Structure 1
């Protein structure tokens, strides 16, 4: 077990290491190094960077093992660094860029102020996240790419480990660009789907579903889940939705879903569920971002989800482990 001082000083150093990774991701260094090693001057020219400054970042990145020295003042990618290439399966580039985006960086840096008064400093400056994204195409594009990359292991787990009813219609509530719905429909060729999300997201979803050859089995409906959701579905998926909202808002969303679904319908809540123990867990890390970015957004434990669903007139029936820290919670009408 590391000494507590090692853990604390390690956390202090993490901000410097993340800043180096952010620089690598923003400048596309992994893409520039994809075909082999480059000296610092050549790499700086391709990335539009100041060579002496870049040299110092490369030194840190080499210490982290994402690049390696490949000659006098030259660097090459390591196997670990390949994950920062834009074309790498499961690339982490978009995730790093999103978490380092100006407004997100501000949110995490002002977490102490948020904790002091219980109100998100991010919201005070930028408004609600989704309104901020709707008004700012740059951060919105980064966020969409980040959510798509983050959802890949969850989505694969959902398609492989959950048995959907034959011939069911699934409504993907706040389904984003449609990658989750597309994966489920490909894995279940007799199902149909409806993707429901805000107007500024809907066109992206239509393009995704068309590109996936699913336009004849899926439709996209624009709207606000606080006002209502499409009726008549057999399965309603809420993937990374409820953790953005406090209990009262989450109950409004769940209530609208319960009212809209068929009598024997199912609600599927895909979230990272907090453990009851004090062990390190992905959900606890994400919860710090929820605290910083939303007023009321929170990760929840199994018991807290069961209680929330119960208040919405739903009964938790099954929990499926999806891998990568995510769970699928199934609920039906009580």
Structure 2
């Protein structure tokens, strides 16, 4: 166990390392080094950056084993740094750029003010995240790519760990571009899918289903889950939705689904479920981001999800560990 001072000073150093990582992602350093080493001056030219400033960041990145010195004042991409290339399947570049985007960085820096006041400094300055995304197409594209890559391990775990009822109709509530629904439908060729999301998102989902050869098995509906959801389906999926909202709003969403679902239907909630102990957990890190960015958004424990479901007329039946920190909560009509 490290000495407490090492933990504290290490956390302070993480701020600088995160800033260096963000700079590498934002400037596309890994993409520029993909074909081999470059001198710092040439790399700076390709990145449209100041050579002197970039040299100092590269020194930190080399200490993180993301790049490696390659002769005098030149650097090559280290194997660990490959994950920051845009063209690799497991790329984390968009995730780093999204979490380091100006408003997100602001939100985490103002976390003390959020905690003092009990309301998000992010919301006070920028408004609700999804309104901001709707007004900024470039930011929305970056966020969508982040969410797609973030959901990949969860989606793979969902397809392997959960048995869907055959020939069921599944409604993906706030399903975004439709990548999770597409994955489920590919794994379950007898199922049909309906995706519900806001109007500015639905065209993206239609393109996804067309590209995936699923247009004849899907329907895309523009709507607001606070108003209602498509009725009569067998399965309703909420993937990374409820953690954006406070308890009352979450119960409203769940209540609308409860009223719309078939008598023998089920609700699937894909979220990070917090443990009850004090051990480190991915959900505890994400929970602070939710605190910083949303008014009332939170990660929750199993018991807290059970309470929300109960308020909406649903009963938690099981929790399936999907790996990568995520869980699938199944709920049935109470």
Q: TM-score range by the shorter chain?
A: over 0.9
1:138: Cα distance to partner? 2.1
Q: 1:163-190 deviations in whole A, cap 9, x for unaligned?
A: 0000011100010111100100111111
Runs ≥4 residues deviating over 6 A: none
User: Counterpart in 2 of 1:322?
Assistant: 322
Q: 1:180-234 deviations in whole A, cap 9, x for unaligned?
A: 0010011111111011111111111111111111101111111100000111111
> For structure 1, which segment, 41-50 or 274-283, has the greater mean C-alpha deviation from structure 2 after superposition?
41-50
2:5 partner SS: helix
User: Counterpart in 1 of 2:290?
Assistant: 290
User: Counterpart in 1 of 2:332?
Assistant: 332
State the TM-score, normalized to the length of structure 2. Answer: 0.99
1:41: Cα distance to partner? 1.2
1:293: Cα distance to partner? 0.6
- Measured in 2, the distance between the counterparts of 1:193 and 1:231 equals 13
1:175 partner SS: coil
- Measured in 2, the distance between the counterparts of 1:158 and 1:263 equals 24
Q: Tell me, yes or no, if structure 1 residue 17 matches structure 2 residue 17.
A: yes
State the TM-score, normalized to the length of structure 1. Answer: 0.99
User: Counterpart in 2 of 1:102?
Assistant: 102
Question: Which runs of 5 or more residues in structure 1 are unaligned?
Answer: none
Q: 1:291-318 deviations in whole A, cap 9, x for unaligned?
A: 0011100110011111111111111111
User: Counterpart in 2 of 1:54?
Assistant: 54
Give the total of aligned pairs: 334
Q: 1:206-263 deviations in whole A, cap 9, x for unaligned?
A: 1111111110111111110000011111110000000011110000000001111111
- Measured in 2, the distance between the counterparts of 1:313 and 1:29 equals 51
User: Counterpart in 2 of 1:254?
Assistant: 254
- Measured in 2, the distance between the counterparts of 1:187 and 1:32 equals 37
Question: Which runs of 5 or more residues in structure 2 are unaligned?
Answer: none
User: Counterpart in 2 of 1:164?
Assistant: 164
- Measured in 1, the distance between the counterparts of 2:201 and 2:13 equals 37
Q: 1:55-96 deviations in whole A, cap 9, x for unaligned?
A: 111100000011111111111111110100111112110010
- Measured in 2, the distance between the counterparts of 1:277 and 1:221 equals 41
Query: Counterparts in 2 of 1:1-334, with a 5 A limit?
Result: 1-334=1-334
Q: 1:12-35 deviations in whole A, cap 9, x for unaligned?
A: 111110111111101111111111
> In 2, are the aligned partners of 1:264 and 1:333 still within 8 Å (CA)?
yes
1:118: Cα distance to partner? 0.3
1:52: Cα distance to partner? 1.1
2:215 partner SS: coil
> In 2, are the aligned partners of 1:90 and 1:152 still within 8 Å (CA)?
no
- Measured in 1, the distance between the counterparts of 2:29 and 2:211 equals 29
